[in-house]
Amino acid sequence: MLRFAIFLLSFLTFSAPAPLHAQAQDYQSFIDSPARICDADLASDAAPNFAGATCRSVLFYQADPQDRMLWAQIVFEAEPALLEGGRPLGLFVSAKASSEASLNGVPIGTNGRPGASQSSEEPGDMDAVFFVREGTLKPGKNRLVLRLSSMNGGITLNSPIHNIALAPYRDPRKPGPATWFALITLGLFVAGCVFFGVRSLRGDDREGSALIAALSLAAALQLAAEAARDVMPYPYPLHDLRLSLILTFAIGLGLSFTAYVLLRLFRPYPRRRLMALTAVLAVMLAISALQPGFDLKTGFVFITALLAAGIAGTTAYFAQGNRSGAWLALASAALAAAIYWLGGFFLDTVLYLVVAAGLLWLFFKQARGGDLAHTPVAEDSAPKRIELTSNGKVEFVDASDIVRFSGAGDYVEVLLGNGRSALYNASLAALERELSDGFIRVHRSHIVNAACVKSLTRESAGTGNLEMSDGSTVPVSRRNMASVRDALTQM
């Protein structure tokens, strides 16, 4: 699954669409345009003289209307396609602010009402569009003037202005292909939460299923918070709540992923897994408190989860020789690099594709009868009860009560969890063919119940020893060492 995720990530990276303004000339963004910014005169509603000494020149995205009211002027030449298209135009404003705008001296709209205080300001929506009447935009130089204020926000953002652009008029929240994709993916996450939640309640790999259900729920909630901006208008003060929810759900998603990885690699060590998970949570909370910018906070939260998974995989590989750990470490490093490289595109799109691909893979495994540990358990074909013969007496024992089998000449000695032993009238080879995959052949003379293994110790000669739940020690042959490690890791 991890290799498939890497392939999917690479494909998406190199096939990512070019920005909208690079595909069509009937779109003109001013977010990176030079602008003159002036603090508003609270005694007058008139625009200032932008040539005054109290004004400053910055790129428009650097303007900060948080806890103040300001004026902004942008002088630009219109794209020819905007003048020749013959379609109604709109000025699209995405900002954590109330705003009003005029183009070439003609008022074109207001979003809320800018003000000098919380009481005098009427909060506008995060995303608004102002209709530009025909003839307002002219060939040659044009002058766009905006008044902005953001007095009702609770969190100070590094970049409160997200975009401002001229384009053909449309509803900024009209669902498009990206919105429908988000809704379909959201449905998959909800299905994953329900399906694996039910599996957990039924006792099918209870802990693993519960973690996948939690991961699916966190992904669904994070995606819903992300997509909310595209489908419903909301006043800009609620943007703080939306960003906080996205970060919270990201922490939940990252922790669920880390916990699932630790479970699969180190199931016999619950206390160590809890300690590692606590350390990861502490780092995530520190990032949330100290790192500026919500995109950076969210990105570093996921990088923390991936680094933790990579460290766990590396540890499993060198300590246990677990090849799955090596693949996990490589995949985690690749995804962490992708977050750093792709930034917002990864968080907005690739993240959900990778999670969706993982859930689809798990659904596929379930449809084929596999379990979440990637170790199929043939419950229907494997005996749940084993017939034991001892001193002429025949009895039936649940397979789950058996700790291990040991070769004893023409018989097999069966050691049970209660400390009792008995003889089974068969060979180890014949018995191995009948047992479920929960039992592992670890030596020419031994088969063990994987659920009863407490630890695996590897010797310098390449052999090993298993410590069983009944306190006994079972040798592991050099030939079987790699397969035993893999099987135990995947349980």
Angle at 248 between CA 245 and CA 250, to 5 degrees: 110
Residue range 22-34: mean pLDDT, rounded: 78
CB 472 within 8 Å of CB 453: no
Q: What is the pLDDT of residues 94-116, one digit of tens each?
A: 999 999 999 999 999 999 999 99
Span 122-132, average pLDDT: 95
pLDDT in tens, 149-203: 999 988 889 889 999 999 999 877 666 666 677 788 889 999 999 999 998 888 7
**Residue 118 confidence (pLDDT) above 70:** yes
Buried b (16+ CB within 10 A) or exposed e, 470-485: eeeebebbeebbeebb
Amino acid 364: pLDDT: 72
Query: Is the confidence at residue 376, as pLDDT, over 50?
Result: no
Strand partners, 171: none
Q: What is the pTM of this model?
A: 0.69
Q: Do residues 19 and 54 touch, judged by C-beta distance below 8 A? A: no
Mean pLDDT, the chain, integer: 84
Q: CA-to-CA distance for 177 and 4, rounded, in angstroms?
A: 24
Q: What is the pLDDT of residue 120?
A: 94
Burial code of 350-387, b = ≥16 C-beta within 10 A, e = fewer?
bbbbbbbbbbeebeebeeeeebbbbbebeeeeeeeebe
Assigned token pair, 367? 């449809």
Model pLDDT for residues 403-412, shown as the tens digit of each residue = 999 987 777 8
Q: Is residue 72 within 8 Å of residue 35, measured between CB atoms? A: yes
pLDDT at 203: 72
Q: Which residues on neighbouring strands pair with residue 128, listed in sequence order?
A: 93
User: pLDDT tens for residues 212-237?
Assistant: 999 999 999 999 998 888 888 899 99
* Region of poorest pLDDT, from 300-304, 334-338, 386-390: 386-390
User: Is 168 within 8 Å of 89 (Cβ atoms)?
Assistant: yes
Q: How confident is the model at residue 367 (pLDDT cuts 50, 70, 90)?
A: low
**pLDDT tens track for 458-469:** 888 888 999 988
Residue 374 pLDDT: 41
Specify which residues 393 forms β-bridges with: 390
